[in-house]
Amino acid sequence: RAKESGKARSELFDERMQAQAVDALQTEDDLALAVSQGQLRLHYQPIIDLRDGHVQGVEALLRWQHPRRGLLQPSDFVPLAERSGLIVDIGKWVIAEAWRQLEEWYSTIEDCHLTIAVNVSRRQLANAELLDAVATNQPTGPAGSALLVEVSEDLLVADANAGFSTLHALRMMGVRVAVDDFGAGVSSLKHLQTMPIDHVKVDRHFIAGLGRRRQDEAVVAGIIGMAKSMGVGVVAEGVESHEQLDALRRLGCDSAQGFLLGRPNAEVGAVIDLARSRPATPVQPADEHVPAT
Ligand code: C2E
Ligand code: MG
Ligand code: MG
Ligand code: MG
């Protein structure tokens, strides 16, 4: 009897596995259509300059408006896109869309300085089509130097040489490079010195501990100190509380991003309004109006 129920259970298990496999196959077919059918979206999350509070730019975060399953997050489909190689085409779309958005902003906003950061995975960095995609769509004028590429730190360690030459090429084209989720991976502060980069983004797990965990504050202080000495900018990720924001200001962090400062937003207009509502130079407080008596 025990054997039978074991068998029943394993059949159930097989069925579930099979269902999952079918699901995955279907998703892969769907994903192949997502680009051509215009189902991909970029949501924009503001990145704030901590010195004066102005919006420096945004990070573009990929979403998939699936016809049946609704709005999907990167964790729902980026791993599959990487395994299947579809990430290369998806990445081309992301870059083209970011350039298009920058062109629009720079042609409609007076004295625009906004940047867009796009995420690039290992597979894309190793693929020559990334550089093609960047070059093909790059606008002339200031918009053409307003793109950043975010790469994860482990990508740089594991595949240093191939990765580095792509990053060098991007920088030659006027594209800036940020190391994403720094501190979470295996690379050390010392390694940071060898990377061809412009910014580091401190992983949100360290930011979460600010004001609560001494070790996290020490790590963040260390990254900021190192970055400063290298002339590299520091962005804090995942800022959710005023306590964290205060700690970051105190530690001299350049800029920050997180739910406290603005959620990823589908409405580009909302990002622009935010940028307009926070002036690039601090406004002098107006003299208090004293009514004449
Ligand atoms: P990431 O590049 O580190 O992006 C930041 C993630 O943290 C985003 O998740 C964002 O929504 C989330 N986040 C922002 N502020 C906060 C906060 O205050 N608290 C918390 N808990 N989370 C916050 P999302 O959009 O789900 O993206 C997840 C990851 O997917 C990204 O991590 C990035 O590695 C990857 N990804 C996103 N877009 C693309 C893309 O176009 N291409 C590739 N290859 N990967 C992408
Ligand atoms: Mg990122
Ligand atoms: Mg990140
Ligand atoms: Mg992350």
Nearest CA to ligand 1 atom 23: 238
How far does residue 69's CA lie from ligand 4's centre (Å)? 23
CB 127 within 8 A of CB 176: no
How far does residue 61's CA lie from ligand 2's centre (Å)? 8
pLDDT in tens, the chain (293 residues): 555 566 666 676 677 777 666 666 678 889 999 999 999 999 999 999 999 999 999 999 999 999 989 999 999 999 999 999 999 999 999 999 999 999 999 999 989 999 999 999 888 888 889 999 999 999 999 999 999 999 988 776 766 667 888 999 999 999 999 999 998 776 667 777 888 899 999 999 999 999 889 999 999 999 999 999 999 999 999 999 999 999 999 999 999 999 999 999 988 777 777 666 654 444 333 344 444 44
Identify the sign of the CA torsion 130, 102, 178, 65: negative
Candidate from 87, 119, 204 with most ligand 1 atoms within 8 A of CB, to mutate: 119
Tokens of 83: 């395994």
Q: From the alpha carbon of 240, which atom of ligand 1 is closest? A: 18
How far does residue 238's CA lie from ligand 1's centre (Å)? 10
ipTM of the complex: 0.98
Q: Give the ligand whose atoms come closest to the C-alpha of residue 148.
A: 2
